[in-house]
Amino acid sequence: MIKLSTYWDVGRLVRFSVSGHAGYAKAGTDIVCAAVSALVYNAINSCEQFLDARLEVEDDGDELLCVVPASLREHAGVQLLLGSMVFGIEQTAAQYPKHVKLKRVSGGAN
């Protein structure tokens, strides 16, 4: 199962982590994994490409952790792109609830 944990402070996404495997199909053919990966990497890369906003990303292959630097937390464009990512993953989880789980934590300014 893919797990997305989002951490919010005053209504703004300040960090998120993604881990696990969807287990929907074999590696390389798993459409659920592909969908979540595309949404996550597109959001991160779009922040950099279109907004010149570098997020702090660590990806060890098992878990991806993304932190929005304090200087970018109120950036409307960053919040829009990351919010769109979360929305897309929520929609994926609604279609594949056995393969994607979301957790939302408020007060996650760290």
Q: What is the pTM of this model?
A: 0.94
Helices 31-51/76-95 angle, 10° precision = 170
Q: Give mean pLDDT, residues 13-22.
A: 97
Helices (H), 17-75: 31-51
Output the pLDDT for position 108.
Answer: 63
List pLDDT tens digits, range 54-101: 999 999 999 999 999 999 999 999 999 999 999 999 999 999 999 999
| pLDDT, mean of residues 22-32 | 93
Identify the structural domains of the chain with CATH numbers, from first to last. Answer: 2-106 (3.30.70.1490)
pLDDT at position 110: 57
Cα 14 to Cα 28, 38, 40, 46, 63, distances in angstroms: 31, 20, 15, 17, 17
